[in-house]
Amino acid sequence: MKLAIMGAMPEEIAPILQRIGTYTTSEYAGNKYYEASYKDVDLVIAYSKIGKVFSTLTATTMIEHFGAQRLLFSGVAGAISASLKVGDLIVATKLTQHDLDITAFGHPYGYVPEGSVFVEADKEMIELSKIVANEMGKTIQEGIIATGDQFVADEARKNWIGKTFSADALEMEGASVAVVCDALDVPFFILRAISDAADMDASFSFDEFLETSAVESAEFVMKMVDKLVR
């Protein structure tokens, strides 16, 4: 089995590479890909760079070029739900693009013809994450993640995204990865640890908590990998 582990920023995969220890590095289409053998499975690990376009490229590359059969995303997110605080973990049940807008043609936000507003994540890995959380003594929240090419640092925009999509958290890569995996029939799992509240203080909170929240997410994803390889 070949598993892909992906983040958007170097900080989001650094704890995973540190944990793996030994890996080979190659370059493809402007990104670095790290390959390792871990407990009898093959891993390919990469950060995509920020946003929907780069994350689409990386997810596609991991599947089509490196042959990944499952994909796990680890990273940070801005909270929408008031119950999510810095450091908390959210597992995406489904994802949507909050900046996809052809409403002028009568379509709902997040929808284009022959697409769907939401893409659902793999149910088996979500179930597995509950077992992992239980074993780790951690609380994880399941919820809807909204993705867009925008760092949200505005209460009104955040509330609009929350209301329009019933979204619990937002970020900039999850839904594009979800679209790729869904189209290519690759089960995927998207985990995020909260770094900020997507409000006027978001950039400061993000800078302060990126590293610690990225570690929270990465540690959990590695426990998921440990369970998947057994």
Contact positions toward ligand OS5, by CB under 6 A?
Answer: 8-9, 50, 76-78, 151-153, 170-173, 195-196, 198, 202, 206
Asked about 207 being catalytic, the answer comes back as no
Number of residue whose CB is nearest ligand OS5: 78
Q: Which is nearer to ligand OS5, 2 or 49 (CB)?
A: 49
DSSP secondary structure code for residue 126 in this structure: H
- The CB-of-118 to ligand OS5 minimum distance in angstroms stands at 18
196 is catalytic: yes
Q: What are the structure tokens assigned to 123, written together?
A: 């149910």
Taking the alpha carbons at both ends of the chain, their separation in whole angstroms is 11
Catalytic residue (one of 12, 88, 168, 171)? 12
Distance, in Å, from the CA atom of 3 to the CA atom of 41, rounded to the nearest integer, reads 7
Residue with tokens 């570690």: 215
**Which one is catalytic: 88, 122, 171, 196?**
196
Residue 110: CB minimum distance to ligand OS5, A = 16
Spatial separation of the C-alpha atoms in residues 183 and 86, rounded to whole Å: 32
Shortest distance (Å) from residue 173 CB to ligand OS5: 6
Angle between helices 174-183 and 52-64 (to 10 degrees): 30
Catalytic residue ranges: 12, 196
